Amino acid sequence: MRLWPWSWERRKQELSEELQTHLRMTIEDHIARGETPDQAHAAATREMGNLPLVADTTRTYWGWETLERLVQTVRYTLRQLRRSPGFAITAVLGMALGIGPVVAIFSMIWATFLAPLPYPNASQLVVVWNHYKGERVPTSGEDYAQLAAQNRSFQSLSFQSWIVVHLTNPDHTADEEGGLPVTPGMQTKTVGQPLLLGRDFLPDEGSPGNEGVVILTNWLWQHRYNSDPNIIGKSILIEDHPYTVIGVMRAGPHEKGGGITFNVPIRFTPGEQSQQIGIMIGRLNPGVTLAQAQAELSTINDQIAAHHVAHLNKSPFALTVEHFRNDWLDLKTQRNLWLLLIAVGLVLLIACANIANLLLARGTSRTQELAVRSALGATRRQVFMQLFTESLTLALFGGIIGIAMGWVIMKLSLVLLPNLALESTDTMVQMNLPVLGFSILIALLAGLIAGCAPSWRSAHINQSDALKQGSRAAGRRGRTPLQSALVITEIALSLVLLAGAGMALHSFWNLSHIDVGFRTDHVLTALLRSRNNGPGSKSSSVSSPEEASVQQHQLLDRVRQIPGVADATGATGIPMNGFNTFPFQLAGQTADKAHMPTADFEAVTPSFFTTFAIRLVRGRFLGEEDQPQSPRVVMVNETFVRRYLANADALNQRLLLRIPDFRRAGAGPQQMPPPLEFQIVGVFHDVLDNEHLTGDVQPEMYVSEWQVGWPFFWIAVRTLGIEPEIITTTLQRTVSSVMPGAAIDHVRTMVQVMEQEQSSDRFEMILFGAFAAAALLLAVIGIYGVMSFAVAQRTHEIGVRMALGAQRTEVIRLIVGSGMRLSLLGLGIGLAGAVILGRLMHATLYGVQVTDLTSLTAVTALLFVAALLACWFPARRSATIDPIQALRNE
């Protein structure tokens, strides 16, 4: 109870009342002994001594002094700050500007790396990734079945398919929802989340004929079925097949990843072939380490490989077992987050240096006040504590505004994140208790850093000097070494940040100037999928290949008739969507069966080249004249020519390709198709087929869709005069009218694809740029402040100089020179820091040297000019000092 101030007050009153009673009793005693009231009063007072002092000493013994003084100091501080609002606002905003970015980035770091997962025994939860040549790739259902059956490390190993199935309604009018097949027990056993309603899949559900059950996410249940409490047992349509709802998940971050809103069962039997691919999520047995599990799975994996291919004793695929994490950001963005944390840390340090500078200047102008206080009996410790409390108070206010600012920065920067992550940001990144706690802690720490040195210095002022010389005492020195050091630090740190931003910008510039080999504007692409490709249904709506070809022609013709459409094409693959490796053989050369040359192989309609505006290097494009009956032709890209035809005339070459004939119904998959000759008729400029913007272009072979008759999956449309997104619904309607069993999916414009590819880099560039701008602003304010202050303090000296005949220009040169000496020193130190940062950032940048001279030069020049201006304005003011006025003021 006695910690509360009102309780102190009461006790203080009691004590003084007690002392008064004591005094009265003493007086009464004296009167009783025959003294006059006056004499008695005098004697009693003499006996009792200094009453307030007694009270004071007593309170010290109570042990409240420290707390009481703290409250006093805080009150005093608030009064002081209210009296100089300019200083207070500058300091608080400066601090907020430093803390806000830290809060924003930390909230993302927390969500990504530090937040505990909301699952029971989350440390047992792992993801098993499959790797091929360093890239994460999916695992096949067959391999999963073997791994799940043979391992001893897992309590439960589940499989989540990557093949999305769709929830529809009978007339296909409502929005479709995507869902994923998972093995039974995934939610309740592996992830460990009990269902809200109903039950999990039973072990044999998911096998053929036993798969018509579905578990909904809480989100889907709420949004599509209005939280219907009687949903269990109802039938819904998935890929036009009836499924019975058997369960509803609890709400939470586990339920909705990547837009997935329901699960259907899937089941694998070891040794049976499967077309399924997906990822494995498992729960380890207690005590099993990641390394043990990984070793066991790798051994099984090698055995599987050896079983498939006799001469292999080691699988080309590598399995890794990793902790289940909030894997909502791609690796590059994750790495960028750490870099950004460094950046905001630097901004905070600059903000601290700025506050320290402000406090120093204020301390100097308050020399007299402090001297009076210490002359009146304040100890050094008390003066130090008072100044220290001031800086902590400022930091706390700055922290509170900073948190608000951080929230805004967080929301703004989340918009910049890659699309894939966008769906889960709201549940992932929040201003929760740990983030707030950390922010307050950081604010106090910043206050500590900013307040320490200035407070110490102010507390150690020689009071008699200060009192004698008045408020200018400390000003004689003009700028103190500590201030100089702070200015140098600010400049150096700002340069590091600016260099980071410069490099990020340079990298982004390079990235947006990559030659992808086609025009990205006004192109809409979509995946064509059959509606009934759900598990258990393999039927096709088209019976004969001729019919299919007619339908394809019809579709493209109808799409071309949509107003605003300039051209349309169908293809097995589109640019920037990945490549395949297809073996071929040059005609007239003997083939080494084990090491066949490979290239990306796609079948495209002739309009592909006009739709994507691909450039021709030699020969001719594929044309409508290339029909099934005419000689087979192929086009290759420049990389193909460079790699395989360096010493030959490409247009004289023929390629031998073994193309599976989809037109021949019932052709078994094992049957090796005969090699067919394709004449190279043209070479086109490299088109980026890699799904990574910075990835290599593969050798490519494009053949005519009309000659090979492959079913195409992709359609691309070039619009003229209208934005391509506009025709999405028309396209959808056209597709379902020509092909009743088909729907379009993955509808994106090429511009969106490009933006998605650049989003991680854009995120880094914009945030780095914004933080660097904040740093620049803070540094300029810092230099300006220190220079103005120095000029104000040296008014007298400047007055004397001018009275003795110094020219205005000389005065300006004097002031600017002293400021720029510090700036140049700061720039030098900053350059060293920038080189180090360059090394740290290098891996996330594209086409930027480790030491990027272009951006280093640019930002150094920028900061130099900024510093020059910040020195020049105070200097110009100093030159307008009237010597007479300056001297008279002394």
Partner 1 sequence: MKASESYRNRIEFLQGTLDMLILQALQWGPMHGYGIAQSIRLKSSEILQVETGSLYPRSAPTRATELVKSKWRLTESKQRAKFYETTPKGKEQLASDHKRWQQMVQAIAAIMEPGKEQT
Positions that interact with partner 1 (CB under 8 A): 2, 11, 14-15, 17-19, 21-22, 24-26, 28-29, 47-51, 53-58, 60-63, 377
User: How are beta strands 700-704 and 598-604 bridged, if at all?
Assistant: parallel
By C-beta, is 59 or 553 nearer to partner 1?
59
By C-beta, is 51 or 726 nearer to partner 1?
51
Minimal distance in Å, beta carbon 57 to partner 1? 5
Residue 137 has which token pair? 């790739």
Phi, psi of 324 (to 5 degrees): -65, 120
By C-beta, is 60 or 123 nearer to partner 1?
60
Minimal distance in Å, beta carbon 5 to partner 1? 16
Total Cβ atoms within 10 A of residue 713? 18
C-alpha–C-alpha distance, residues 571 and 618, integer Å: 22
Minimal distance in Å, beta carbon 25 to partner 1? 4
Minimal distance in Å, beta carbon 49 to partner 1? 6
Total Cβ atoms within 10 A of residue 518? 23
Residue 780 has which token pair? 């300029």
By C-beta, is 281 or 385 nearer to partner 1?
385
Minimal distance in Å, beta carbon 804 to partner 1? 48
Do residues 95 and 351 touch, judged by C-beta distance below 8 A? yes
**784: β partners:** none
Minimal distance in Å, beta carbon 47 to partner 1? 8
Minimal distance in Å, beta carbon 462 to partner 1? 19
Minimal distance in Å, beta carbon 100 to partner 1? 44
Q: Long-range contacts made by residues 425-428, C-beta under 8 angstroms, separation at least 24?
A: 427/252, 427/253, 427/256, 428/111, 428/112, 428/253, 428/326, 428/328
Do residues 628 and 726 touch, judged by C-beta distance below 8 A? no
Element (H, E) at 119: none
Minimal distance in Å, beta carbon 461 to partner 1? 19
C-alpha–C-alpha distance, residues 37 and 41, integer Å: 6
By C-beta, is 25 or 869 nearer to partner 1?
25
By C-beta, is 19 or 467 nearer to partner 1?
19
Nearest alpha carbon to residue 145 among 323, 294, 264, 273: 273
User: How are beta strands 235-238 and 125-132 bridged, if at all?
Assistant: unpaired
Minimal distance in Å, beta carbon 376 to partner 1? 10
Q: Long-range contacts made by residues 111-116, C-beta under 8 angstroms, separation at least 24?
A: 111/326, 111/328, 111/428, 111/429, 111/430, 112/325, 112/326, 112/328, 112/329, 112/334, 112/337, 112/428, 113/325, 113/326, 113/334, 114/434, 115/326, 115/434
Residue 295 has which token pair? 């070793």
Minimal distance in Å, beta carbon 31 to partner 1? 12
By C-beta, is 20 or 269 nearer to partner 1?
20
Nearest alpha carbon to residue 728 among 565, 501, 548: 565
Minimal distance in Å, beta carbon 390 to partner 1? 24
By C-beta, is 21 or 512 nearer to partner 1?
21
By C-beta, is 26 or 218 nearer to partner 1?
26
By C-beta, is 62 or 113 nearer to partner 1?
62
Minimal distance in Å, beta carbon 48 to partner 1? 5
Do residues 173 and 296 touch, judged by C-beta distance below 8 A? no
By C-beta, is 3 or 853 nearer to partner 1?
3
By C-beta, is 48 or 831 nearer to partner 1?
48
Minimal distance in Å, beta carbon 197 to partner 1? 60
C-alpha–C-alpha distance, residues 795 and 418, integer Å: 55
Nearest alpha carbon to residue 213 among 186, 239, 243: 243
- 10 Å CB burial of residue 695 (0-12, 13-18, 19+) is middle
Do residues 585 and 597 touch, judged by C-beta distance below 8 A? yes
By C-beta, is 21 or 627 nearer to partner 1?
21
Task: Look at the alpha carbons of 673, 675, 676, 678 in this order and tell me if their dihedral is positive or negative.
Answer: positive
Nearest alpha carbon to residue 270 among 157, 150, 138, 128: 150
CB contact set of 522 (below 8 Å; sequence gap of 6+):
566, 718, 719, 720, 723, 724, 749
Minimal distance in Å, beta carbon 387 to partner 1? 20
By C-beta, is 50 or 540 nearer to partner 1?
50
Minimal distance in Å, beta carbon 465 to partner 1? 21
User: Measuring CA to CA, how many Å separate 870 from each of 17, 475, 777, 783, 788?
Assistant: 61, 21, 11, 6, 9
By C-beta, is 60 or 807 nearer to partner 1?
60
By C-beta, is 54 or 305 nearer to partner 1?
54
Q: How many CA atoms lie within 13 A of 545 on its CB side?
A: 15
Burial call 763-776: b when 16+ CB within 10 Å, e when fewer? bbbbbbbbbbebbb
By C-beta, is 26 or 276 nearer to partner 1?
26
- 10 Å CB burial of residue 376 (0-12, 13-18, 19+) is exposed
Strand, coil or helix: 117: coil
User: How are beta strands 598-604 and 582-583 bridged, if at all?
Assistant: antiparallel
Minimal distance in Å, beta carbon 468 to partner 1? 22
By C-beta, is 63 or 660 nearer to partner 1?
63
Minimal distance in Å, beta carbon 22 to partner 1? 5
Distance of CA 48 to the CA centre of its chain: 71
